Chain A
Amino acid sequence: MNSSNGNGSMSTASSSGAWDGRDQFPAGLRVLVVDDDPTCLMIFEKMLKTCLYQVTKCNKAETALSVLREHKNGFDIVISDVHMPDMDGFELLKHIDSEMDLPVILISADATKQIVMKGVTYGACDYLIKPVRIETLKNIWQHVVRKKARNTV
Chain B
Amino acid sequence: MEVGQMQRRLVDYTKSLFMEKGFLDAQFLQLQQLQDESNPDFVVEVVSLFFDDSEKLLNDLTMALDQPNVDFKKVDAHVHQLKGSSSSIGAQRVKNACIAFRSFCEEQNIDATLRCLQQVKQEYYLVKNKLETMLRLEQQIVAAGGSIPMIELGF
**A39 close to B77 (CB less than 8 A):** no
**B87 close to A109 (CB less than 8 A):** yes
Alpha-carbon distance between A110 and B102 when the two chains are bound, in angstroms = 11
**A134 close to B34 (CB less than 8 A):** yes
6 A-B pairs with CB atoms under 8 Å apart are: A39-B85, A39-B89, A40-B84, A40-B88, A42-B46, A83-B84
**A37 close to B30 (CB less than 8 A):** no
A-B complex: 4 closest residue pairs judged by Cβ atoms: A109-B84, A39-B85, A131-B27, A131-B87
Binary per-residue interface labels of chain B (99-139) against chain A in the complex, 1 for a CB within 8 Å, 0 otherwise? 00000000000000000000000000000000000000000
Which residue of B33, B49, B81, B84 contacts A42 across the interface (Cβ within 8 Å)? B49
Additional 4 contacts, C-beta under 8 A, given A40-B85, A43-B88, A133-B30:
A38-B49, A39-B50, A83-B81, A134-B30
Q: A46 within 8 Å of B by Cβ? A: yes
Q: A118 within 8 Å of B by Cβ? A: no
Q: B61 within 8 Å of A by Cβ? A: no
| Contact residues of A between 48 and 83, Cβ < 8 Å to B | 50, 81, 83
Q: A145 within 8 Å of B by Cβ? A: no
Binary per-residue interface labels of chain A (97-120) against chain B in the complex, 1 for a CB within 8 Å, 0 otherwise? 000000000001110000000000
Chain B interface SS verdict (over half): helix
Question: Cβ of A110: which chain B residues have Cβ within 8 Å of it?
Answer: 80
Residue of B nearest to A133 (CB): B30
Question: Cβ of A109: which chain B residues have Cβ within 8 Å of it?
Answer: 80-81, 83-84, 87
**A50 close to B34 (CB less than 8 A):** yes
Shortest B147–chain A CB gap in Å is: 20
Question: Cβ of B84: which chain A residues have Cβ within 8 Å of it?
Answer: 37, 40, 81, 83, 108-109, 130
**B34 close to A39 (CB less than 8 A):** no
Q: A47 within 8 Å of B by Cβ? A: yes
Shortest B41–chain A CB gap in Å is: 12
User: Given that A39-B49, A50-B34 are known contacts, is A83 also in contact with B77, CB under 8 Å in the complex?
Assistant: yes
Shortest B29–chain A CB gap in Å is: 10
Alpha-carbon distance between A47 and B32 when the two chains are bound, in angstroms = 11
Q: B67 within 8 Å of A by Cβ? A: no
Question: Cβ of A36: which chain B residues have Cβ within 8 Å of it?
Answer: 81
Question: Cβ of B85: which chain A residues have Cβ within 8 Å of it?
Answer: 37, 39-40
Question: Cβ of A130: which chain B residues have Cβ within 8 Å of it?
Answer: 84, 87-88
User: Given that A130-B87, A131-B90 are known contacts, is A37 also in contact with B81, CB under 8 Å in the complex?
Assistant: yes
